[in-house]
Amino acid sequence: MFGLQSLPKKCDFNRIAVLTSGGDAPGMNAAIRAIVRTGHSEDVDIFGIQRGYSGLVEGDVRPLSTRAVAHILQRGGTILKSDRCDAFRDPAVRWQAVEQLRDAGIEALVVIGGEGSLTGAMLMQQETGFPVIGLPGTIDNDIYGTEDSIGFDTAVDTALGSIDRIRDTANSHDRLFLVEVMGRNSGFIAAYAGIAGGAEFVMTPENQFDPDWLYDELVKSHRAGKSSSLVLVAEGAVPGRTQALAQSLIERGLEPRVCILGHTQRGGAPTGHDRMLASYLGAMAIRHLLAGDSNIMLGIARHQLVQVPLTDVAGKSKTLPPGVTDLAAVLRRSI
């Protein structure tokens, strides 16, 4: 899956830059490290742009040596910092950003981020012709065109560690817990962490359920001898979703406890999988740029590297496939 591909070299780039944009994701540092070291192995100088598109607009571009990326593989977050830059929505600002790059002698750019960040990269490429390659970096795993994204595996693993601890308390006190994980429009974290953590019910943006139905199912489980229960809830687009569900259950006579994992899912050391994925994608980003490829995102599909046009990624999102949460329903029927 992660075997490097040899590509014919068509571009003699001397300087390539990299930035991280949007929400940080564990593994971004591994991708930066791979970009820098692969670039230097090809006699290309690599530059890091601070604070995403905000730093790009301001011209905050700094050289990255191989020593500068030593000992960052295991660190969460991003050494380049990240930001959400509303000003970058303006075409004039995107032109200004490209002028900043050209003034610094930068000839191509790698953008690591989510759908919004990759959309910005696509618009910049279309409007100015500046070579760009995107890498999927988001814990939500909701980017269209790739089955995996940098940070997703770590976010699931982090959530799972908390769920296992909550399960211990739920069992000790015969309690019902509602555990909220991240996922505004995508239920991948909730589904994977919930099923792996033995949650009886998983509520995602793609698979919502009525409080009356949940109450009835919880009562059935209790009558069948189930003394504690765990419900995984993706945060959804509207804040307070889990508290509202808890209040509905309280009004029906239950006593749920709510635990919101929040931003703990973003931080921490990346898993081995995310380090490998990020390292591979980072290295291949340099090889594809030198091969003359641009305006694409590199992703994974069927355990193979895929090149997805940024025009296909922009404005789209990947949702949880139908039937994934059905596994939780099947597994709880053994009660």
* DSSP SS3 for 293: coil
Topology adopted by domain 152-266: Rossmann fold (3.40.50)
Residues 15-151+270-313, CATH architecture: 3-Layer(aba) Sandwich (3.40)
Region of 44 on the Ramachandran plot (φ > 0 left; ψ -120 to 50 alpha; else beta) = beta
DSSP structure string for 167-214? HHHHHHHT-EEEEEE--SS--HHHHHHHHHTT-SEEEBTTB---HHHH
pLDDT at 107 over 90: yes
Main-chain dihedrals φ then ψ at residue 134, nearest 5 degrees? -105, 150
Cβ atoms 147, 299 nearer than 8 A? yes
The per-residue pLDDT for range 108-131, each reduced to its tens digit, is: 999 999 999 999 999 999 999 999
The per-residue pLDDT for range 246-290, each reduced to its tens digit, is: 999 999 999 999 999 998 999 999 999 999 999 999 999 999 999
pLDDT at 237 over 90: no
Residue range 5-9: mean pLDDT, rounded: 90
Q: Which of 214-223, 243-252, 317-326 has the highest mean pLDDT?
A: 243-252
- The residues facing 133 across adjacent strands are 110, 296
At residue 127, the pLDDT reads: 96
The per-residue pLDDT for range 289-318, each reduced to its tens digit, is: 999 999 999 999 999 999 999 999 998 989
Matching fold, domains 15-151+270-313 and 152-266: yes
Q: Where exactly are the structural domains of the chain?
A: 15-151+270-313, 152-266
pLDDT band of residue 333 (cuts 50, 70, 90) is: low
Extract the tokens encoding 154: 């770590």
Extended beta strands in 128-170, E state: 132-136
pLDDT band of residue 197 (cuts 50, 70, 90) is: very high
- The residues facing 48 across adjacent strands are 18, 62
pLDDT at 328 over 70: yes
Main-chain dihedrals φ then ψ at residue 15, nearest 5 degrees? -140, 125
On average, the pLDDT of the chain sits at 94
pLDDT at 334 over 80: no
24 noted as active-site residue: no
DSSP structure string for 19-36? EE-SS--TTHHHHHHHHH
Among candidate residues 12, 24, 140, 274, the one labeled active-site is 140
